[in-house]
Structure 1
Amino acid sequence: MIGLHIAALAAALAVSEPLPLAHEVLDTRYEECVARLGESIAEARKAAERWHADGGGAPALHCLAVADLAAGYPKLAAVRLLELADRPDAGDDLVRARILAQAARAWLEAGEIGLAAEALDAAFARAPEAGELYLTAAKIRLAREEYQAAADAVTKAEQAGFVSTDAYVDRARAHMALLKHRAAAEDVVAALKLDPMNVDALVLRGELQQLGVAIDAHYRRLEETDDGGAR
């Protein structure tokens, strides 16, 4: 299961907001570098190391961090991402904030909650108005078992226009921990509307059904019944 989470996180980093590149050829090389991960993680990592050693700059370092994460080295990936965020060619403050948020997620994958929080604090310092950062904040709050704060963080991201299956699953988990099963069910429905085959959302749906919370199989928004239940 840990391997699956690392692979999913590596994929998320690879398709995240692209780094600003000086030349289109670098953009193409970055895409090729990341694409190799789907063929052979070990070979892709070696190729990224060579590109970085040859002076590939920020794109090469980001690809190498993604490869490290995919290979099961989240701490190394986090360190590289922190290094990347400080490079002069990394981009503007928003891009640097996104890189720091990626570092925070890598630290979380490594079980380093405190370091994850520090990286995210640095991200907010760079771009305090970036609503997408609350998606990472929710994960840190969940890891700290601060469930209401985790749910609130997802809501803030949603209000800023940033939603994802993963975010709805995170808020569903927070609501379940708070025994807010109806709210959790609504989040599961929202997640499955975006991705009907999402494994985490389907597992949560099963857990809620075992608790007696019925969830519409067609993933329509739940309607409140007269007795306040969900149907």
Structure 2
Amino acid sequence: MRAPLRHAMLGVFAAAMLTALAGGAFLLHAPASPEAAEAAPPPAGPAATEEALPLPPEPPRLADGPDYEACLAQLRQDPEGAAQRAMQWEERGGGDGARHCLALALLALGEPDRAAGRLERLAAGASGSNAARASIYAQASQAWMMAGDPGHAYGAATLALTLMPDDPALLVDRALAAGAQGRYAEALEDLNRAVSLDRGRAEAWVFRAAALRHLDRTDAAMQDIETALRLVPQNPEALLERGILRQLKGDAAGARGDWQRAIALAPDSAAADLARQNLALNEAGPRRR
């Protein structure tokens, strides 16, 4: 017996998991304290975003001083060198700053499971502000997603939310981890809270639509997707999800158009990959019947 179409079609929870596994979790959203946002250097340009390693664009600052700044600056261009620098610095008593830089270097070197554990331990014992510690837990959550472990990711996001319960980005992070485990009702609770806190956050509307779809509430899901597309009309993830909803409502032409548009907008993204798979599934469907 074939799975229901709503489960066969691949949507944004799958896209988020694929993005994480490919090393792009931190490019989705990385909550950071206001101090971190002010201290972080701006990106060099569009190419810098496209070629960035899987590191948070605005690392929360757990320390001050030239050693910490130099280690963070080295991460993107030379993560192996940054790891060596951090280990040597830690031996000299570098403390939280050295441990943070080392964890991020391990992440950039493709060891997200080791990085995630270090980040969790660092967040638990750090002496920084609640906002900084929550951001480290958020990094741990995203690292666990990159390691393919949404269960641990959910736990780390929950710890972050105990420190910053009204952070919508953290709520979205935990919802993604819940959705990746098929826990859509729990994801919906967090996404309801996220959109109530920040109604301009398009990604929260997109993921809430996906959760609603999985809970068979397709009319409400379509309303959320239209809200997301009003906020960001060229949102590939929203188009991916709207295509699924249109397919479920029998609008095959509309679904095809949305998926083709998602591919055209971001051809190398996980959303585009899943749109291609949905197009292939859509084409194969009539032949199966």
Alignment TM-score, normalising by the size of structure 1 = 0.71
Aligned to 2:73: 32
Match of 1:18, SS state, is: coil
Aligned to 2:239: 202
Residues 97-144 of structure 1 show CA distances to partners (whole Å, capped at 9, x for unaligned) of: 221132123223323333233323332333445454322221232123
Given that residues 10 and 66 in structure 1 are in contact (C-alpha distance below 8 angstroms), is that contact kept between their aligned partners in structure 2?
A: no
Given that residues 169 and 200 in structure 1 are in contact (C-alpha distance below 8 angstroms), is that contact kept between their aligned partners in structure 2?
A: yes
Q: d(CA) in 2 for partners of 1:202 and 1:73?
A: 32
Q: d(CA) in 2 for partners of 1:120 and 1:59?
A: 21
Matched, 1:72 2:110: yes
Shift of 1:59: 4.4
Q: 1:179 aligns with which of 213, 216, 227?
A: 216
Aligned to 1:81: 119
Alignment TM-score, normalising by the size of structure 2 = 0.59
Aligned to 1:221: none
Given that residues 10 and 69 in structure 1 are in contact (C-alpha distance below 8 angstroms), is that contact kept between their aligned partners in structure 2?
A: no
- 1:10 partner letter: F
Q: d(CA) in 2 for partners of 1:163 and 1:27?
A: 34
Q: d(CA) in 1 for partners of 2:218 and 2:205?
A: 14
- 1:50 partner letter: Q
Q: How does 1:31-180 map to 2 (within 5 A)?
A: 32-36=73-77, 44-55=78-89, 57-89=95-127, 91-161=128-198, 164-180=201-217
CA distance 1:30–1:114, shift in 2 (3 Å): same
Shift of 1:156: 0.6
Q: Which moved more, 1:1-10 or 1:103-112?
A: 1-10
Q: d(CA) in 1 for partners of 2:81 and 2:160?
A: 29
Identical-pair percentage: 30
Matched, 1:8 2:45: no
Q: d(CA) in 1 for partners of 2:202 and 2:98?
A: 29
- 2:112 partner letter: P
Q: d(CA) in 1 for partners of 2:162 and 2:244?
A: 38
Given that residues 104 and 120 in structure 1 are in contact (C-alpha distance below 8 angstroms), is that contact kept between their aligned partners in structure 2?
A: yes
CA distance 1:173–1:65, shift in 2 (3 Å): farther
Match of 1:86, SS state, is: helix
Aligned to 1:225: none
CA distance 1:120–1:4, shift in 2 (3 Å): closer
5+ residue gaps, structure 2, are: 1-14, 31-55, 259-289
CA distance 1:7–1:108, shift in 2 (3 Å): closer
CA distance 1:19–1:193, shift in 2 (3 Å): farther
Q: d(CA) in 1 for partners of 2:81 and 2:199?
A: 33
- 1:49 partner letter: A
User: How many residues of Structure 1 are paired with residues of Structure 2 in the alignment?
Assistant: 208
Runs of 4+ in 1 over 6 A off after TM superposition: none
Aligned to 2:226: 189
Aligned to 1:39: none
- 1:18 partner letter: P
Shift of 1:196: 4.1
Q: Which moved more, 1:199-208 or 1:171-180?
A: 199-208
